[in-house]
Structures are given as C-alpha cells and as structure tokens.
Amino acid sequence: MRPNLMARTLVAATAVAGIAAGSLAGATAGFAASAPAAKPAMSTQAVSVQAVNNLGLNTKEAKGIQRVLKRDWGYKGAIDGRLGTDSWKAMQRYLHKYWGYNKKIDGVVGSDTVKALQRMLKKYCGYKGKIDGIAGKDTKAAFKWFANHYA
C-alpha cells in the first residue's frame, strides 16, 4: 500500500470511529437525560441561614449595638458581634418607631432600612450624605461613630 493511500485510509477510519462515538454519546446522553434524576441525600439537621451585615463595625462595636437592641428593642440573640437577621429585626423596630421605616420587619438590610438608619445618623451622628439607601463609606463611618458613642 502506498504511504499516501495508507494515510487517507487511516484518517477516514478515524473519522468514522469519531462519528460513531459521537452518535453513541448523543444517544447515551439523550437516554440519561430522560431517566429520572437521582435524589440528593438530605440532611435531617435544620439549617439556619442568617446574613451578617455589620455595616463596617468591628466585633466590639457590633456587640455594643446588640446590647442596646437587647435592652430596648426585643433582641433575644447572642451578644456575639455579628449583626444578623435578629439584630436587624430589632434595629428595624427602632427605625420604625422613630425614623420612618415602614416596610416589613424582616431583618434584611435593604435600602429602606438603610434610608431610615441614614435619617437617624444625619440627625445625631454627623452623617452629611444623601438619604439614598446606599450604605456607602459615609454611612458606615457615621454608624461606627454611633456605635462608639451611644452603644
């Protein structure tokens, strides 16, 4: 057999094998996709997901905020320096009573929570920014000031 003919035969055989394998893989994939998916193993332990948002406070400062929230606003969690959902629910109760927070008490630090916090910080803590619901560096600095002077 001539070398050129041999090379062409080898290339053709490889192409046929590749096409066959691709067709088989496609058929197998189609079969697998139609089969019921295996159920993932489920844990019997309850999982509690709490977002922590200290808005720039360190642990000591956040603990001070939690102490005030526990004393005055119904916070029942640990004084751990992690402002999670329960800490923010208590903060929202305070913001609702005095600073115009009118949304659901859900512990989520959304723009409405931040706007109410900014109103308080503007009045008492030197915040000079806009009431825009964005917890930027000036909001965080004023919240830090609040934590160090009032909590």
Q: Are 72 and 94 in contact (CB under 8 A)?
A: yes
pLDDT at 89: 97
CA distance 103 to 92: 9
pLDDT digits (tens, 9 = 90+) for 71-101: 999 999 999 999 999 999 999 999 999 999 9
pLDDT at 51: 84
| Residue 36, number of CB atoms within 10 A of its CB | 5
CA distance 96 to 113: 9
pLDDT at 50: 56
Q: Are 142 and 125 in contact (CB under 8 A)?
A: yes
pLDDT at 14: 44
Residue ranges of the chain with per-residue pLDDT less than 50: 1-35, 42-49
CA distance readout (Å), 112 to 18, 22, 43, 45, 104:
59, 55, 36, 34, 10
